[in-house]
Amino acid sequence: MNPNEMNKYPFESTSRIEISESAFRNNLDFIQKQVGEKTQISAVVKANAYGHSFETFIPMAERAGIRHFSVFSLEEAWNVKQLLQTDADIMIMGSVPDAALEWVVANRIEVFIFEPERLKAILKIALQLDVKARIHLEFETGMNRTGFLGNEIPVIRAILDLFPDAYTLE
């Protein structure tokens, strides 16, 4: 069959998922009791809330008391931000394009930083905007993906010391 013929056939999903708000609240309450009241739970909603849709999940999570959402990309952060009805925080777990760092800082979005030059760049932007960048320092732990190496700690410390009022370590 050629790809152009595919639109002749109706595609119907063979599965359906239903999210129970009461079950979600019960699960959230159970987890919160296990980790303690001082621990903030982050709802990881990357990939459009794992296919459940931001529009469905974000309002339900906020009603249940979630005040922190983790996404993978800048686009997902923007989409979640548009739906928020509270002062919930957003954290981007993936890489952020250089051109978007100003938007991230201005909108108090938390980001992972794993390169010295990126650390300098975001802190300079924070100083220009007079807003603290909300950063998580990511360290390489053996997966050989992203993260600062242990021998970079003095460099990181020196950069942070140059910009003491430009960041909050999350």
- What is the DSSP secondary-structure string of 27-92? HHHHHHHHH-TTSPP-EE-HHHHHTT-HHHHHHHHHHTT--EEEESSHHHHHHHHHH-SS--EEEE
In a domain, residue 10? The reply is no
Task: State whether 131 and 167 are in the same domain.
Answer: yes
Note whether residue 9 is domain-resident: no
CA dihedral 40, 29, 83, 71 (to 10 degrees): 50
| 168 and 118 within one domain | yes
CA 40 from chain centre, in angstroms, equals: 14
Query: Is residue 135 domain-shared with residue 163, that is, in the same domain?
Result: yes
Residues 118 and 65 in one domain: no
| Within a domain: 146 | yes
Does residue 104 sit within a domain? Answer: no
83 and 123, same structural domain? no
- The answer to whether residue 5 is domain-embedded is no
Of 60, 94, 128, the last residue of a domain is 94
Q: How confident is the model at residue 146 (pLDDT cuts 50, 70, 90)?
A: confident
Question: What's the pLDDT at 79?
Answer: 96
Where b means 16+ CB within 10 Å and e means fewer, 126-160 reads: bbeeebbbbbebbeeeeeeeebbeeebeeeeeebb
Question: Both 89 and 118 in a single domain?
Answer: no
Query: What's residue 9's pLDDT?
Result: 67
Contact 40, 67 (CB under 8 A): yes
Helix (H) or strand (E) holding 160: helix 153-162
Arithmetic mean of pLDDT, 94-106? 96
Give the whole-angstrom CA distance, residue 142 versus residue 64.
Answer: 36
Residues spanned by the domain of 55? 40-94
Same domain, yes or no, for 87 and 128? no
Query: In terms of domains, do 90 and 120 share one?
Result: no
Residue 134 resides in a domain? yes
CB 77 within 8 A of CB 97: no
In the structure, what pLDDT confidence band is assigned to residue 2 with cuts at 50, 70 and 90?
Answer: low
Please count the structural domains in the chain.
2
With respect to residue 6, please indicate whether it lies within any of the assigned structural domains.
Answer: no
Does residue 29 belong to any structural domain of this protein? no
Q: Which pLDDT tens digit goes with each residue over 30-60?
A: 999 999 999 999 999 998 888 888 999 999 9
pLDDT at 6: 63
Domain identity same for 129 and 81:
no
